[in-house]
Amino acid sequence: MEVLQLQSQGKLYVVGIGPGKKDLLTLKAYEVLKNADVVLGHKRYIEFIKDIVRGEILESSMGKELERVKIAVELAKDKKVCLVSGGDPCIYGIAALLEEYIEMNNIKINYEIVPGISALNAANSLLGCSVSGDHVVISLSDNLIDWEKIEYRLRLMLRCDVPLVVYNPSSTKRKNNLKKALEIVLEERGDVEVAVVKNAYREGEKIEIKKVSDVDVEEVDMSTLLIISSSERIVKEKKLVTPRGYSLKYEVGAKTKKAKEIAEKSAEFLRKLVPGDDLRSEIVRRAIMASGDLGYRDIIFFKGDPKVCVEALKSGAKIIVDVEMVRIGLRKDAIAAINFAKNSEDTRAADGIRNLGKEINGAVVGIGNSPSAAIALCEIPYKPAFIVATPVGFVNAAEAKEMIRNLEVPSITTFGTKGGSGVCAAILNCLIEYARSD
Ligand code: SAH
């Protein structure tokens, strides 16, 4: 009953107002600020929203958070009150203080937290995804936490090799914390790039990408957020991007200038040896590239049209390979038969192929290592859509591939003893890429 009575009279909103610019307020924040009887907050945040407010404004200064919470709780008994916080109120904001205060003092109050765009989200959008997946966040403020603990956490976080976001890097009183923190970064991660974002979406916005050793501690203030890059990063003028791995998965490609030069030279060389823009020529070039063996020009055999494989992949055919070494080399998810082996007299890859049974129907099957798996594939009553078989070795390899060629299934095989997991993966990747770009 008591709570119901409170609800009908007043309510406290803890409102995140985002980084500063009004168009980054949420609609909800805008509504509650406009309709509030009283709005309380630090004067620098009040500044951003005061022209929306129609009620009374109570400004206060830094360090008076508890006092502000107490006043807000009291006023909210019979008024609509907004307690504002920069960014999001739950992230290094005032919401946690309110939660602790009402818990410790057993206060019953009608309240709601209105989320906001945190400095991390704001900076991240300006930088072009410095945080694009896993990341860690730390505040260098030792107001509430001992510096030793911050240092301990910082070291552990840096060892994760994911981007590290630093809130509260500095204040006029705390320049030394940032200096010490940057030394630890240098020890743990080296002289990597750091994004220094000052006043994101506010007047005085400034974005710089620097090396850790070039960060000027004097230039970093309490309106600055730092993002320390991980070992995977793309740096471009004012952008610091952490790739999520799409390019690895979906694009073939050398990354550095040197690697690109090498790739271009070898592509040029191979084009002279195996000219032709068709899929078959490209497959032969890939096999030569993967093995360094020009002999592949003469030993790759195409039964049927490899475009059958491309079509199967395009319509979602599963890829099943014999061993992990082939699976790991692929630019698409696949399953390795060897993981389906039970107890058997046969090799594990062959046993896995048998146990996969009807899963083989309509699949694209790659055999890069195991002649026994290729033989098993010929013996089971299931029919793949396409086979790439390049098992290698001096026992049964040549015979197994001959058996594959005799199946009524289109395939790519090699004659003789040559082949291997790398060649199999290279051929499959060529087909996968063709299916994606076709
Ligand atoms: N609740 C806030 C964070 C408060 S801690 C939020 O969610 O964003 C204050 C710290 O946040 C500052 O010292 C600074 O590191 C960072 N910060 C807040 N607003 C910022 C902005 N517009 N640009 C850059 N950093 C900002």
Q: What does the pLDDT look like over 387-413, one tens digit per residue?
A: 999 999 899 999 999 999 999 999 999
Closest CA to 236 of 200, 257, 209: 209
Q: Is 87 in the pocket of ligand 1 (CB under 6 A)?
A: yes
Asked if residue 250 has pLDDT above 60, the reply is: no
As a whole number of angstroms, the distance between CA 432 and CA 378 comes to 24
Find, among 143, 137, 139, the residue nearest to 121 by Cα.
137
Choice from 224, 226, 227, 228 to test ligand 1 binding pocket (greatest atom count within 8 A of CB):
224
Query: Is the pLDDT assigned to residue 11 strictly greater than 80?
Result: yes
Q: Give yes or no for residue 18 CB within 6 A of ligand 1.
A: no
Domains and CATH numbers, the chain: 11-117 (3.40.1010.10), 120-241 (3.30.950.10), 257-437 (3.40.50.10230)
**Encoding tokens for residue 291?**
């093995």
Is the CB–ligand 1 distance for residue 124 below 6 Å?
A: no
167: Cβ below 6 Å to ligand 1? yes
How many A from CA of 91 to the centre of ligand 1? 9
CB 365 within 8 A of CB 321: yes
CA dist 349 and 412 (Å) reads 19
State the pLDDT at residue 269: 85
Q: Tell me the CA–centroid distance for residue 221 and ligand 1, in Å.
A: 11
Among the atoms of ligand 1, which is closest to the Cα of residue 120?
8
pLDDT at 6: 46
Q: Is it the case that residue 246 has pLDDT exceeding 70?
A: no
* Alpha-carbon gap, residue 307 to 300, rounded angstroms: 16
Q: Which of 16, 40, 45, 42 is nearest to 29 (CA)?
A: 16
Q: Give CA separation, 20 vs 16, 49, 87, in Å.
A: 10, 8, 8
Nearest ligand 1 atom to alpha carbon 226? 15
pTM over 0.75: no
Chain centre distance of CA 31: 34
With a pLDDT cut of 90, the percent of the chain lying above it is 78
Residue carrying the six token digits 């823009």 = 277
* pLDDT at position 339: 82
Q: How far is the CA of 38 from the centre of ligand 1 (A)?
A: 24
pLDDT of residue 251: 53
Q: Which of 348, 347, 431, 416 is nearest to 385 (CA)?
A: 431
**Cβ distance 419 to 391 under 8 Å?**
yes
Average pLDDT on 131-138 reads: 96
Token readout for 264 is 């271009």
Split at pLDDT 50, 70, 90, the class of 277 is: confident
- Atom of ligand 1 minimally distant from the CA of 93: 1
**From CA 99, how far away is CA 213, in angstroms rounded?**
40
The CB of 45 under 6 Å from ligand 1? The reply is no
Stated length of the chain? 438
Distance 44 CA to ligand 1 centre (A): 12
More confident residue, 267 or 217: 217
The 10s digit of each residue's pLDDT in 69-123 is 999 999 999 999 999 999 999 999 999 999 999 999 999 999 999 999 999 999 9
What's the mean per-residue pLDDT of the chain?
Answer: 92
